[in-house]
Chains A and B, each alone.
Chain A
Amino acid sequence: MRTPLYEEHVLLRARIVDFHGWDLPVWYTGIVEEHLATRRNAGLFDISHMGELFVSGPDVTASLEHVLTITVADLKRSQAKYALLLNHEGGIIDDLLVYCIDPGAMYLLCVNASNTEKDHAWLRSQLRGQVTIEDRSPQTVMLALQGPASQSIVKQVLDLDLDKIGYFHFREMVTAYGELLVSRTGYTGSDGVEIFMPAEQATALWRAFLGHGSTPCGLGARDTLRLEMGYPLHGNDIDESTTPIEAGLHFAVDMHKPFFIGKSRLEEQIRSGVDRRLVGLIMIEKGIPRGGFICRREDRTVGRVTSGSISPILHTGIALAYVDSAIGIGDEVEVMIRSQPVRARTVKPPFVAPAVRKHAGGD
């Protein structure tokens, strides 16, 4: 599959890779350059592969409370929140953002591309009462503009003052580029926006953002940027065999809710503890930990890396790994890199301080 911006990527001589069936740019000029452009200036990402499920109807709130880990009723109009979809065993079917478009009436769930159909099917089977789910992924373009210069670029291109939109809030607006949903969110840890829009005028907006000084960035930089923040990637760091307790995603779970699917398993894990948990690893010695590499301590296997790379900011190998709960933060482990033990230390992510604006805006 190709996004409506595919031809733009080809024009920019992007290196295209297959990502869960999508032909997407992995980089244009290079991962490090694009990573640093995002941290220091602004990076522009085509993330149209992400799934957009619109859920609406009179019973939507109660229904979503049943399947999501957050209290949906607490969301105010134009607020977005990170949430999880769990199976009955507490495993993570997907992680997503819930956008409250009309409280009690309509919500947008932005889900991982490769999980869209699975999520849709799960929701159809679990939602109760009068609820409609509409998958608008095919006709929706999603752009992410991330980095400290995003604010001035958005001001110039869309005449929108981002100071008026709080972190994890959004605004719907009609512009020369069509109807946009502009959200103060992102997957990089740098300040910026994510924009949902119809495909028709996406090329024009893409070019306008580039024309105002943003750098086109591929999936490669998207991955190193999120890894520096310790944000998990579904399919790598979290999946149906891992729970939010193991993955350290407590903040995305409201245990005060009377019920949500998977809750009893989480209660049990909170009560009796978990055998493993997701931690950050930072290499002490030279080497790049990669997904699947084994962690050892005193000649015993104590964990496994789920994603890893080199941090373009720290110039050091960093990773997320599940390790035995007995291993504390700050402890040393060895990552087996091509049969060689290489020393690393466990840390609590982020690896690099985030630069998102936490203050609430005017909305």
Chain B
Amino acid sequence: MGIPEDLKYTKDHEWGRIEGSLMRVGITDYAQSELGDVVFVELKAKGTRLKAGETFGTVESVKAVSDLYAPVSGVITETNPELEQSPELVNQDCYGAAWMIVIAMDDPSEAGRLMDAAAYARFVASEAR
């Protein structure tokens, strides 16, 4: 189960990559493998204001549907246009091509409350048990 060192993680299995005052967000390898074949990704529109923990969309697989939660507060500045046509990217490249949104963070220090890779690895191990 891939858990890149340079990312931040939520308990809902989103990842965030800090890019200056922006955070790029997607779902983790654990999340995509639990969902199985992803068939739809629905994202809120660019410009939407989110509080940390609010839903920014849904991801749906053949078997299940799951809400997506914002790791930090801010405004959506970008959504990934590829996922509309190619939702299977979520299964194929969850940390790369299948990024979902970019958030302009209200307060970049908020990211400090998220888990680092080691903490997330422990969290996943406890969930899987």
CB within 8 Å: A-B pair count? 32
A306 is an interface residue with CB less than 8 A from chain B: no
Q: How many of chain B's residues touch chain A, expressed as a range?
A: 10 to 19
A288 near B39 (CB under 8 angstroms)?
A: yes
Most-contacted residue by chain B among A15, A30, A309 (CB, 10 A): A30
Known: A220-B63, A312-B62. A30 touches B37 (CB 8 A): yes
B40 is an interface residue with CB less than 8 A from chain A: yes
Known: A288-B65, A290-B65. A31 touches B36 (CB 8 A): yes
A67 is an interface residue with CB less than 8 A from chain B: no
B63 near A31 (CB under 8 angstroms)?
A: yes
B79 is an interface residue with CB less than 8 A from chain A: no
A300 is an interface residue with CB less than 8 A from chain B: no
With a cutoff of 8 Å between Cβ atoms, the chain B residues found around residue A30 in the complex are 36-37, 91
With a cutoff of 8 Å between Cβ atoms, the chain B residues found around residue A27 in the complex are 36
Most-contacted residue by chain A among B36, B40, B58 (CB, 10 A): B36
B60 is an interface residue with CB less than 8 A from chain A: yes
A286 near B40 (CB under 8 angstroms)?
A: yes
A32 is an interface residue with CB less than 8 A from chain B: yes
With a cutoff of 8 Å between Cβ atoms, the chain A residues found around residue B40 in the complex are 286-288
Q: How many of chain A's residues touch chain B, expressed as a range?
A: 10 to 19
Nearest chain B CB to A324 CB, angstrom units? 27
Q: How far is the CA of A30 from the CA of B36 in the complex (A)?
A: 6
With a cutoff of 8 Å between Cβ atoms, the chain B residues found around residue A310 in the complex are 39, 62
B62 near A224 (CB under 8 angstroms)?
A: yes
A338 is an interface residue with CB less than 8 A from chain B: yes
B58 near A32 (CB under 8 angstroms)?
A: no
List residues 56-82 of chain B with CB under 8 A from any CB of chain A. Answer: 58, 60, 62-63, 65
With a cutoff of 8 Å between Cβ atoms, the chain B residues found around residue A312 in the complex are 62
Q: How far is the CA of A47 from the CA of B62 in the complex (A)?
A: 21
B37 near A31 (CB under 8 angstroms)?
A: yes
Q: How far is the CA of A26 from the CA of B37 in the complex (A)?
A: 12
With a cutoff of 8 Å between Cβ atoms, the chain A residues found around residue B65 in the complex are 288, 290, 338
With a cutoff of 8 Å between Cβ atoms, the chain A residues found around residue B91 in the complex are 30
Q: How far is the CA of A287 from the CA of B40 in the complex (A)?
A: 8
**Which chain A residue has the least Cβ–Cβ distance from B33?**
A15
- Produce 1/0 per residue, B26-65, CB < 8 A to A: 0000000000110110000000000000000010101101
Nearest chain A CB to B62 CB, angstrom units? 5
List residues 284-299 of chain A with CB under 8 A from any CB of chain B. Answer: 286-288, 290
Q: How far is the CA of A224 from the CA of B39 in the complex (A)?
A: 14
Q: Which of A15, A32, A286, A287 contacts B62 (CB 8 A)?
A: A32
Nearest chain B CB to A244 CB, angstrom units? 29
With a cutoff of 8 Å between Cβ atoms, the chain B residues found around residue A290 in the complex are 65
Chain A residues with a Cβ under 8 A of chain B: 15, 26-27, 30-33, 220, 224, 286-288, 290, 309-310, 312, 338
Chain B residues with a Cβ under 8 A of chain A: 36-37, 39-40, 58, 60, 62-63, 65, 91
**Selected A-B contacts with CB under 8 Å, 24 pairs:** A26-B63, A27-B36, A30-B37, A30-B91, A31-B36, A31-B37, A31-B62, A31-B63, A32-B62, A33-B37, A220-B36, A220-B62, A224-B62, A286-B40, A288-B39, A288-B40, A288-B60, A288-B65, A290-B65, A309-B62, A309-B63, A310-B39, A310-B62, A338-B65
A-B residue pairs, 9 tightest by C-beta: A32-B37, A31-B62, A30-B37, A310-B39, A31-B37, A310-B62, A220-B63, A31-B36, A30-B36
